[in-house]
Amino acid sequence: MIKPVQLPSPWRDARLTVVVPTYNEAGNLPTLVERLLALPLPGLRILVADDNSPDGTGDVADKLAIEHPDRIEVVHRAGKEGLGRAYVDGMTRAIEGGAEYVAQMDADLSHPPEALPGMLGALVSTQASVVIGSRYVPGGELDENWPLYRRALSGWANLYVHTLLRVRIRDLTAGFKIWKADALRDIDLNRVQSNGYSFQVEMHYLATKLGHTILEVPIRFEERRDGISKMTTATKVESALMPFRLRSKHRNITR
Cβ atoms of residues 197 and 173 within 8 Å: yes
pLDDT of residue 144: 73
Sequence letter at residue 10:
P
Q: Which residues of the chain have pLDDT under 50?
A: none
pLDDT of residue 73: 98
pLDDT of residue 254: 62
pLDDT of residue 156: 65
Long-range contacts of 209-214 (CB under 8 A, 24+ apart): 209/250, 209/253, 210/186, 210/253, 210/255, 212/128, 212/129, 212/130, 212/183, 212/186, 212/187, 213/126, 213/127, 213/128, 213/129, 213/130, 214/128, 214/129, 214/130, 214/132, 214/169
pLDDT of residue 235: 55
pLDDT of residue 196: 67
Give 11-24 as a 3 state SS string: HHHCCEEEEEEECC
pLDDT of residue 119: 98
pLDDT of residue 168: 82
